[in-house]
Structure 1
Amino acid sequence: MTNISPAQAEAEARTALAANDFAKAETLARALLANGGQLETWRLLVVALRRQGKVNEALEILDMLVQHAPGNLDLRFDLSELLLLTGDFKRGWREYQYRYSLSHTKILDRKVQKPLWDGRVIHGKTLLIHDEQGYGDTFQFLRMVPWAKERSKAKIILQIREEQEAFAKRMPGIDHIVRQGELPPAFDMHCQMMTLPEVTDLTLADLPGPMPYLTADPRRVRKWQKRLKNLPRPLVALVWAGRPTHFNDAERSMSLEKLAPLAMDGVTFLSVQKGDRANDATTPPPGMNLINLSPEISDFEDTAAIFTLIDLLVSVDSSPVHLAGALGLPTWVMLPFVPDWRWLLNRDDSPWYPTAKLFRQPSFGDWPAVVQNMARELAKLRP
């Protein structure tokens, strides 16, 4: 540091972060901060620590920064994700309210000209609950809509994307459903689906709630029974990549080739991968008996029907995981070293989904260890 300017050091630290050299980025950031430092340098250090799995250290720094700059909503949102990751739901949900107050998310916030429901009883009133964020988030938090009905004593209107509407129609506790982009009937209060945990004081002890809370369409199940009935079991569905536009997709997704160690006699694999990486299924790894169902899957209803008929889903952290979990079906989830907040830390199970088993990277980017671990477990399922 003696022969380098602070500006150069910070540039080097950011270059190290981009190159996944998190230890070097931490060292440079700490050196810069030894004699005081800018807020952005502190945030750089937080990122370097988090990516190394030093979550508690990163959390302590974020706590300090928020105390000194409580009006910085970017910091408060970063804090919310670490709090939730460590299981501190009480504080985490409170800070999570700032998710639509950031410069790049303000445009996503729906400007509803009615009061936000705060968890009180509003008997005789109408409560609009609207979905938000990704498909997986909606599948995960749909469980809370009937809870809100019970707590509020209100008539519930749910606004949801067309692709997930049919699942909501098969749930109890919803009085009226309207699609995104359509005007809802008159209502008195509203609540975003992922604000429900905050206003209902959700704790880990409240999870998972009644399971399963989603069901498949019986007609689709009968259709897929005919398609799958002659395939030798066990049937294992595979999803190896999420939505490429997701901010963390580079860490959570992989190629089908990386799942080669799963190939073994006696197991029939089914590709249910959609999107840009679906074509990987046309050239499966050697020895993998893979049937490509992807071109035959038209929507989530097909996916749900398939999941009810197979023995196991193996997937990266993407919406199919939440669909299978909500259906109460066996799911193995492949997670990066420091996962999304909803998977918590240092456990191979999930309070959200009792039928899910988590396979975590032991170090940054170590998918081979994850796949080898799954291969050992999968061998036990063969006849």
Structure 2
Amino acid sequence: MSDHGWTRAMREERYEDAWAIERAVLAARDPATCDDPTLPYHQRWVWDGSAVDDRDVLVRCYHGLGDTLQFARFLPVLARRARSVAVEAPARLHPLLRFPGIALAAFDDAHPLPPSGCDIEITELAFALRCAPRDVPVPYLHTTPAPLPHDTVGLCWQAGDWDADRWVPPALLEPIAARHRCLSLVSAPTTLPVINPEGCPFDLAATAALVAGCALVITVDTMIAHLAGALGRPTWLLLKAAPDWRWDPARRDSAWYPHTRLYAQPTAGDWQTPLATIARDLDMIQGEDHGQPPQPVRARVLG
């Protein structure tokens, strides 16, 4: 949703105000346009605003992987209130979405599931349940950490092709990778001095294990940011100057992920400034800037 008032309310954690705006949007919808097959999935709506309590609910994941991971926190809340819950999500995500009492179905964009008693898109769950992000403890996703070397820092510099402005040129991460033990969380080879120059596996369960094994994740605004946040890993998030609605560039923290710290560009295209701040913060954590013996990242990093 791009409405400026809604974005401002969400960033300021005025959820009742945001939900009032969503209520007005729902009331204005033409029922004939529900799940309109002429629209791309991410532009469709499926929920009519009715209560989810004691009903058979089908949760459709029509947005990106990151959106699904972000709003998956509300699935256990929904399961406690609905009669039954099924989640239609990309099969790649299924290993991460195994919650008690929730059935999983693979989303096939050519053959979506038929309507249920109550259909809802996963990004509408907060409004439907009147549940704020901080109402759900983090971590809400869990996996066995990969056995990585001590104090490994995960790096992700690529985001989706739909917004190249979120990407960080990997050469800008060279100073960080040269000074710290780093792991690539990008599923492509890299020339950066990381412990896995072949890149991260294109497998979300394996990626989640790597993220869980990192002492710190430094990432751009992409699925990795949500995965690390949902797993409760310390995460430093690089943001473009005018980021997505869920991040406030004027803040350093996030209501969605309490262990995430925000590093936004001061002006569009300037990645050097936030990366310089990250480099200084990493050095300070390890005690290198004030003559003290290096301290473990895992022990001292702040989210």
TM-score clears 0.5: yes
**CA RMSD between the two structures:** 3.0
Letter paired with 2:154: A
Letter paired with 1:119: A
Structure 1: give runs of 5+ residues left out of the alignment. 1-73
Candidates 155, 161, 177, aligned match of 2:104: 177
Q: TM-score, normalised by structure 2?
A: 0.79
Candidates 124, 136, 141, aligned match of 1:195: 124
Q: Verify: 1:138 aligned to 2:64, yes or no.
A: no
Q: Verify: 1:163 aligned to 2:55, yes or no.
A: no
Matched residue, 1:236: 153
Deviation at 1:184, TM superposition (A): 4.7
Deviation at 1:201, TM superposition (A): 2.5
CA gap of 1:130–1:106, structure 2 versus 1, over 3 A, is: same
Cα-to-partner distance string for 1:299-345 (whole Å, 9 max, x where unaligned): 11111101121211100011001001101111110111221111124
Kindly indicate whether the alpha-carbon contact (under 8 Å) linking 2:56 and 2:82 is maintained by their aligned counterparts in 1. no
Kindly indicate whether the alpha-carbon contact (under 8 Å) linking 1:208 and 1:351 is maintained by their aligned counterparts in 2. no
Secondary structure of 2:40's aligned partner? helix
| Bigger helix fraction | 1
Matched residue, 1:254: 168
Count of matched residue positions in the alignment of Structure 1 and Structure 2: 276
Partner Cα separation in structure 1 for residue 135 and residue 275 of structure 2: 27
Aligned-residue sequence identity (percent) comes to 28
Partner Cα separation in structure 2 for residue 208 and residue 236 of structure 1: 29
Secondary structure of 2:238's aligned partner? strand
Kindly indicate whether the alpha-carbon contact (under 8 Å) linking 1:84 and 1:344 is maintained by their aligned counterparts in 2. no
Kindly indicate whether the alpha-carbon contact (under 8 Å) linking 2:185 and 2:200 is maintained by their aligned counterparts in 1. no
Q: How does 1:218-237 map to 2 (within 5 A)?
A: 218=144, 221=145, 224-225=146-147, 228=148, 231=149, 233-237=150-154
Matched residue, 1:20: none
Partner Cα separation in structure 2 for residue 213 and residue 179 of structure 1: 21
Secondary structure of 1:313's aligned partner? strand
Candidates 39, 46, 49, aligned match of 1:106: 39
Cα-to-partner distance string for 1:175-197 (whole Å, 9 max, x where unaligned): x2111126658831111111112
Structure 1 runs, 4 residues or longer, greater than 6 Å off:
98-101
Matched residue, 2:140: 213
Partner Cα separation in structure 2 for residue 94 and residue 194 of structure 1: 16
Structure 2: give runs of 5+ residues left out of the alignment. 287-293, 295-303
Q: TM-score, normalised by structure 1?
A: 0.64
Q: Verify: 1:269 aligned to 2:144, yes or no.
A: no
Kindly indicate whether the alpha-carbon contact (under 8 Å) linking 1:272 and 1:292 is maintained by their aligned counterparts in 2. no
Q: How does 1:326-345 map to 2 (within 5 A)?
A: 326-345=230-249
Deviation at 1:121, TM superposition (A): 2.5
Matched residue, 1:154: 83
Kindly indicate whether the alpha-carbon contact (under 8 Å) linking 1:272 and 1:294 is maintained by their aligned counterparts in 2. no
Kindly indicate whether the alpha-carbon contact (under 8 Å) linking 1:349 and 1:357 is maintained by their aligned counterparts in 2. yes
Deviation at 1:89, TM superposition (A): 3.1
CA gap of 1:370–1:158, structure 2 versus 1, over 3 A, is: same
Partner Cα separation in structure 1 for residue 122 and residue 206 of structure 2: 25
Q: Verify: 1:371 aligned to 2:275, yes or no.
A: yes
Partner Cα separation in structure 2 for residue 196 and residue 178 of structure 1: 18
Partner Cα separation in structure 1 for residue 87 and residue 253 of structure 2: 30
Partner Cα separation in structure 2 for residue 345 and residue 208 of structure 1: 23
